[in-house]
Structure 1
Amino acid sequence: MFGKVRAWSARRGKVMDALWVAPVAVLCLLPSAPRAFDEPAGLTGYVVLTLLLLAPLMVWWRRPVPAFCGVALVSFGQWAAGVEVVPANLAVLVALWAVAARCSFRWSSAAVLVTELGVFLALVRWDTPTLGMFTTGSILVVTIWLAGLYASTRRRYLEGLEERARRAELERDQRARMAAAAERARIARELHDVVAHHVSVMVVQADGAGYAIGSDAEQARLAVRAVSRTGREALAEMRRLVGVLREDEGAGGPDYTPQPGLAQLEDLVRGAGVPARLRVTGDPGALPEGVQLAVYRIVQEALTNTLRHGGPRVGALVELRCRDSELVVRVTDDGLGAAAPPASGGHGLLGMRERAAMYGGEVTAGPRPGGGFEVLARLPVPRVRAA
């Protein structure tokens, strides 16, 4: 990537050189230009001098200081030999602008002083110098110099903006990765609690089957089937847990309390802090606890965003549609969430997508056509076989 950028920069520098040198060379080499020279020797000398003055400009954009030095040396040789000024001597102004635009202030200051000296020497050699003539020439030189300084300032400003934008993009990506990692760690901790609950249930059921096997064979058989069913659920959750980073929570002991699920959705909606209703279509059946936890957290985050960004008098509707192989969760509100700016540093939508993706689902969110905001989650739901 960076190699392509460097190659493009090199090609751009050559193009910039050619765009300036080509038209200047055409204008300076017109056959009608050298009227002060005797033909044909005068024309030959004119062409040679013009080429010598324009040759350093072939690298004026890529190497402005050597280009300026080359033009200055040729101009000094021209002055020392007593050859009069030609149109190609304007190359010194082009090189001056390049030094001011591309180099440091120290180099540009030295270049403008050398150019001013050249203007004075030219007036002394080929004309009677007056204050007005020198002032006019100096104004032209200083104007070119200031234009180069402005171009340099503008270029540095744009480069600063690009650098800040690049850093902002990197920081945004880094924050998103950190948020995703933190959310995966949180999901892993919660799935750990779900698996621990399944294992504790298996232990209790196995102990009950061991006590009842001699006196109540039917009860022991039901307990063993419950152990088998719970073990399959725990195995499914463990498969999802593998590969998810889990951070230690300290020296506290494990918590075997089950995480909230669909049974707690009604309490969640009632305590959301905004007027909200729950509508359930279809029979959820026996869903894995991990799926129930994901649904609960998605609804919780959606209602939290409604409370934060919905504005006054906002209402929400939580819809749960249960189909044969898909569970659809839709949370809508009629507030100002579509117009309000996102909370600084918030990654709620990212967390919802992470949770849904763990079970092969997806989450979409955005403003509603009639106003308000909508969060829509679709999760495939493998049914837990009944005992």
Structure 2
Amino acid sequence: MRSTDALSRLQIRPQRPRRNDVMVALIVLLLNSGTYLIPGIVPWGPWRYMMETATIVPLLWRESLPVPSALTTGALTLIVTATVHPAQPFPYAVLVTQYTIGAVLRGRTRAFLVGVFMAGNVVAEALHQQWGNPEDFLVTFTLSLTALFLGVLMQSERDSLSVRGDRALRAERARIARDMHDVVGHAVALMVVQAEAGPLLVRDKPERAEAAFEAISTAGRDAMAQLRGLLGTLSQDAAGGREPLPTLADLDELVHRVRKAGLHVRLEQTGDAAPLSPGAETAAYRVVQEALTNTLKHARASRAEVRLSWVPSALEITVADNGRGVSEGTADGGGGHGLIGLRERLAPVGGALSWTSPPDTGGFALTAVIPAGQ
């Protein structure tokens, strides 16, 4: 039984040709066959046609088995060149193989096969006895190098697209991580504040305890709704629609939730509003959300002020509180992951972020500037 299993593992199963390779082989076969239809180019002969067709067969595995396919095509082509004269004016199978060497292979393997095929060109010219015809020799090498160059160029383009795709994927993952941080962090901060105040309210002000629990429930439901919105940006629903991401129009609801958590917030807007792109609208909302969340979690503040100032060609957002304040180094490096995330969020829309915390007066003020039209 074991010997049977070992034999089955050692069996070499033929690899099924890929559809693209089959199409390429058929096109080369048509080009090769069509040459015989032109009078005076290549005389017809069944043996000649079968041998030239044999050089095309390895192209069926040119991408799945590039090295065996290339060596087989090259060897068969030299046999045809040595036995049939005059041969096809253009070695179509060889040109496709040389393109494949440049497009599929890399490093030493590619360099080795390039050397083999360049040497094969010399041998083919010797078999054709074309040393006294430098034009034919030049055409042969020019065609070979052109095919190789096109293959290398195609591989370079694929690599470039892959790199750009990886960068876009990493940027999208970072954006989703920032959104998750903003949504979950804000909701958890509201619920923690209300939960910590709950026992005191139940004991001292039972009439307000119900409002605290309602605020916890509201924050949780809002977080679930926003998370569904984030998931909606990753996959469309059956109707093809997506949940909208928050914008400046949602700031009133955000401020209302923070007020219910016990922080007195004043929202003020000045200037003539200018249009912002959807990405800039969401970034502006997240700036306010993150600033108010940090105030609730860390500042020990009793009030905060949110100012939206529309200046020429830009929106300036300032969120200031009367809390204990922090040093800039602490804000940036010691627990300021949210602020770093805001800078990363603002960068794609051309925005900038800064903050200050005066040591004499205390408090903390965060300012973001987002160009209009971004």
What range describes the TM-score normalised by the shorter chain of this pair? Answer: 0.5 to 0.7
- The CA RMSD measured in Å over matched residues stands at 4.5
Amino acid across the alignment from 2:287 = G
Cα deviation per residue 1:296-330 (whole Å; 9 max; x = unaligned)?
A: 67x65x65xxxxxxxxxxxx27xxxxxxxxxxxxx
Q: Which residue of 2 aligns with 1:72?
A: 74
Rounded to whole Å, the distance in 1 between the matches of 2:109 and 2:217 is 66
Q: Which residue of 2 aligns with 1:24?
A: 28
| Contact kept in structure 1, 2:66 and 2:101, CA below 8 Å | yes
* 1:338 aligns to 2:343 (yes or no): no
Question: Which runs of no fewer than 5 residues in structure 2 stay unpaired?
Answer: 1-15, 224-255, 294-309, 316-374
Question: Which runs of no fewer than 5 residues in structure 1 stay unpaired?
Answer: 1-10, 203-226, 246-288, 304-315, 318-332, 355-367, 374-387
* 1:113 aligns to 2:115 (yes or no): yes
* 1:236 aligns to 2:239 (yes or no): no
Q: Which residue of 1 aligns with 2:192?
A: 189
- TM-score, length basis structure 2: 0.54
1:80 positional shift: 4.6
| Contact kept in structure 2, 1:50 and 1:88, CA below 8 Å | no
* 1:123 aligns to 2:125 (yes or no): yes
| Contact kept in structure 2, 1:335 and 1:372, CA below 8 Å | no
1:180 positional shift: 2.2
TM alignment of 1:210-221, pairs within 5 A? none
1:344 positional shift: 7.7
Rounded to whole Å, the distance in 2 between the matches of 1:80 and 1:237 is 89
% of aligned pairs identical?
A: 17
Q: Which residue of 2 aligns with 1:255?
A: none
Amino acid across the alignment from 1:22 = L
- SS of 2:46's equivalent in the other structure is helix
Cα deviation per residue 1:6-57 (whole Å; 9 max; x = unaligned)?
A: xxxxx9x93432442222211212352696877xxx6321331132111111
- SS of 1:347's equivalent in the other structure is helix
Rounded to whole Å, the distance in 2 between the matches of 1:122 and 1:66 is 20
- TM-score, length basis structure 1: 0.52
> How many aligned residue pairs are there?
252
| Contact kept in structure 2, 1:37 and 1:43, CA below 8 Å | no
Amino acid across the alignment from 2:286 = H
| Contact kept in structure 2, 1:97 and 1:148, CA below 8 Å | yes
TM alignment of 1:1-387, pairs within 5 A? 14-30=18-34, 31-32=36-37, 43-81=45-83, 84-86=86-88, 89-130=91-132, 132-133=134-135, 134-202=137-205, 227=206, 229-237=207-215, 239=217, 292-293=259-260, 303=268, 316=269, 334-335=272-273, 338=276, 347-348=286-287
1:195 positional shift: 1.9
Using a 3 Å threshold, how does the CA distance of structure 1 residues 193 and 56 change in structure 2: closer, same or farther?
Answer: same
- SS of 2:56's equivalent in the other structure is helix
Amino acid across the alignment from 1:347 = R
Amino acid across the alignment from 2:144 = V
1:138 positional shift: 1.7
- Greater C-alpha radius of gyration: 1
| Contact kept in structure 1, 2:195 and 2:212, CA below 8 Å | no
Rounded to whole Å, the distance in 2 between the matches of 1:160 and 1:290 is 43
